[in-house]
């Protein structure tokens, strides 16, 4: 199953959020459902049961962004778009080490 994410409308995969998502723990509790912890608060992500992925955090609810919790869940689902977005993150880290 592919989660119905309009990446363009949500501002794409934000690299800062993606970087923060790598430090989170995601426990799969159902099909596309994750309990994401390791941040300030624990959040619940549901990728599939509605027309859009959902997270109960403010970043997603109020700013309508693809939040770090959804990104953590998508990574664990092997979502190609999000996995690909790791590449610029690593090159950015390499540049940061050099400069
Ligand atoms: Zn969230």
The residue ranges of every structural domain in the chain are: 15-98
Report residue 6: phi and psi, to 5°.
-90, 90
Taking 80 as the threshold, does the pLDDT of residue 99 lie above it? no
Determine the distance separating the centroid of ligand 1 and the alpha carbon of 77, expressed in angstroms: 16
Determine the distance separating the centroid of ligand 1 and the alpha carbon of 43, expressed in angstroms: 6
> pLDDT tens for residues 11-26?
789 999 999 999 999 9
> pLDDT tens for residues 59-94?
998 888 899 999 999 999 999 999 999 999 888 878
DSSP for 29-51?
Answer: EETTEEEEESSSS-EEEESSSSS
Determine the distance separating the centroid of ligand 1 and the alpha carbon of 94, expressed in angstroms: 27
Ion ligand 1 residues within 5 Å by Cβ: 43, 55, 57, 60, 67, 69
Determine the distance separating the centroid of ligand 1 and the alpha carbon of 61, expressed in angstroms: 8
Gyration radius (Cα) of the chain, Å = 13
């Amino acid at each position: 199953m592919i989660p119905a994410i309009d990446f363009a409308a949500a501002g794409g995969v934000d690299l800062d959020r993606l970087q923060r998502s790598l430090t989170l723990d995601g426990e799969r509790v159902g099909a596309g459902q994750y309990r994401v912890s390791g941040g300030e608060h624990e959040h619940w992500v549901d990728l599939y049961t509605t027309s859009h992925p959902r997270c109960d955090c403010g970043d997603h609810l109020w700013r309508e962004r693809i939040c770090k919790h959804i990104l953590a869940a998508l990574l664990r689902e092997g979502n190609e778009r999000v996995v690909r977005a790791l590449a610029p993150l690593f090159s950015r880290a390499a540049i940061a080490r050099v400069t």
